[in-house]
Structure 1
Amino acid sequence: MNQDISNTVTGAVGISGLLSIVISLVCIALAWWALQTLKLDLVIRNPKSPQGKLLHLLLAVVLGRFVAEFFIDYVMWSQMIRYMF
């Protein structure tokens, strides 16, 4: 009996972790795609330099992570609603 509960909890945690990874990567990719239209040459001197590309990547990771955090929280909250009733 305890082994069944342990396997169920372990599986749920694993699925939750995998879902978080996938959502984070998708949101980072979407942020990268959306930032392609941003004119970084207005902000930095040489946007084609390695530093400019790194800044673009870091902005995509930060923006994507914030968006992913929102979606992950939303999914977790929606799963908690079933325990209200």
Structure 2
Amino acid sequence: MTDGFGQDALIQILVNLFSLGLCWWALASFRFDLFVREPKGPQAIMLRLLTALALAYLVSRFFLEYLQASRLLQYLW
């Protein structure tokens, strides 16, 4: 009954880490220097990290919910 829980947890961890890396990479092209006083300061780095985490959460939730919905399609017929 609990055979798939470990696999689901591993998939969630991998998708979350991939989304975080993807969002961090995508935010590297964003010009934070236009919006913060010291773009290389610790507060700007924390802002970039928190923005990447928030965006990665949204992206990973989308992909994980899409995966879950596609798995449930087998019960449609």
TM bin (shorter chain): over 0.9
Equivalent position SS for 2:38: coil
Structure 1: segments with no counterpart, 5+ residues: 1-8
1:16: which partner in 2?
Answer: 8
2:37: which partner in 1?
Answer: 45
Moved more, 11-20 or 23-32: 11-20
2:25: which partner in 1?
Answer: 33
CA-atom RMSD in angstroms: 0.7
Equivalent position SS for 2:2: helix
Q: Say how many residue pairs are matched.
A: 77
2:59: which partner in 1?
Answer: 67
Query: Shift of residue 62 of structure 1?
Result: 0.5
Equivalent position SS for 1:59: helix
Query: Shift of residue 11 of structure 1?
Result: 1.9
1:54: which partner in 2?
Answer: 46
Structure 1: how far apart are the matches of 2:39 and 2:12? 31
Structure 1: how far apart are the matches of 2:52 and 2:67? 22
1:79: which partner in 2?
Answer: 71
What percentage of aligned pairs have identical amino acids?
A: 36
Structure 2: how far apart are the matches of 1:11 and 1:43? 48
Equivalent position SS for 2:68: helix
Query: Shift of residue 31 of structure 1?
Result: 0.1
Which ranges of 4 or more aligned residues in structure 1 deviate by more than 2 Å?
none
Q: TM-score, normalised by structure 2?
A: 0.95
